[in-house]
Structure 1
Amino acid sequence: MYLIFNDLRNQLKQEGFINEVFSFVDASHLIAKANLWKERDKAIKEKYEKLNNEILPKVATDKQARIGCKGKDKFWYGYKKHASVDMQSGLINKVAVTPANVTDAKGIKYVCPDGGAIYADKGYCTKYANKTAKDNSFDLKEIKKNNEKVETMSVNLTFGLRFNLITGIYNFEL
């Protein structure tokens, strides 16, 4: 599947349908279909005091899934899917899946374009993401929320709505 997607993506780039001048990047959660109660019971039986990302691989059925967090109070067990969308065409450019504990900023290296500019939310505005941007020759721009001050850029709301629609369809398909 990966090879087919990359082959199609490369054909679209050659024909000019994807140009990677401007890309949206975002990540969303993917919940693992695992029974955490069984993992918890196994951890208790093996005398572990906590069930966290250090202990889970030792007791879980799914050895790669981890506990992820979005904000201060949204937790899930599973994975995080990262997607890059070409702003000109609205086509998904790159997709990657990581354990849930990988931050958005660290996941950018898997979906970064070959150049141009990336527009992303504040989860990507870290030293690590900026270094990744510099190392891969693209500019990283933060999309400000409506209640934040916009100092150097503004993003057309249409692009945001298009990206939400595309990621919504992408999430529905998975």
Structure 2
Amino acid sequence: MSGTRGPLPKPAALKLLEGNAGKRSLDLAAGVNPRIEVPSPPKHLGTEARKEWKRITPLLEELGLISGLDRAALALYCQAAGRLAELETAFNGKVAAKVAEGMDYADAVYEMSYSTTPSGYAQQSVIVQLIGKHREQLNRYLMHFGLSPAARGRVQASNYVQPTLPGIEPKPEAKPSFSMFVNPAR
């Protein structure tokens, strides 16, 4: 997450649960609390990305960490996870082929990880470079959804998930919209 320095502020609900050590007034309604819903997966997701979408969305919904607004961000995460799985599978397949030819496993991994330049230097293979870049990218997306141990304390679930916490109001009913003027019977 570029642009942020230091730890992110704690959510107000967490401060309240810890006893509000700063004794400042807490605005528990602060922030955006969208309705919890699982958006439909985009059509462009690959096979592995779709598998990740189906695996992760029920968990995010249970924790209150997903809304319809998150479709694009979740698609980026799933696509990165899918690409990483595909790259790892391809790399493992190349290593397995070398092992099947009789090469030692460690030597096969090294041979698939490095190539020799015309001047005789060992250079990291393209597939290993791509795997490294996708791992970094995936780690950044994990942080956005609170899916890593370090990020869990920095995300805030929607207030709709835990209406029984002290100071958090229950889920509000649907707000009046323009349709109430169209249908005056309400």
Q: TM-score, normalised by structure 2?
A: 0.19
Q: TM-score, normalised by structure 1?
A: 0.20
Greater share of helix: 2
Higher Rg of the two aligned structures: 2
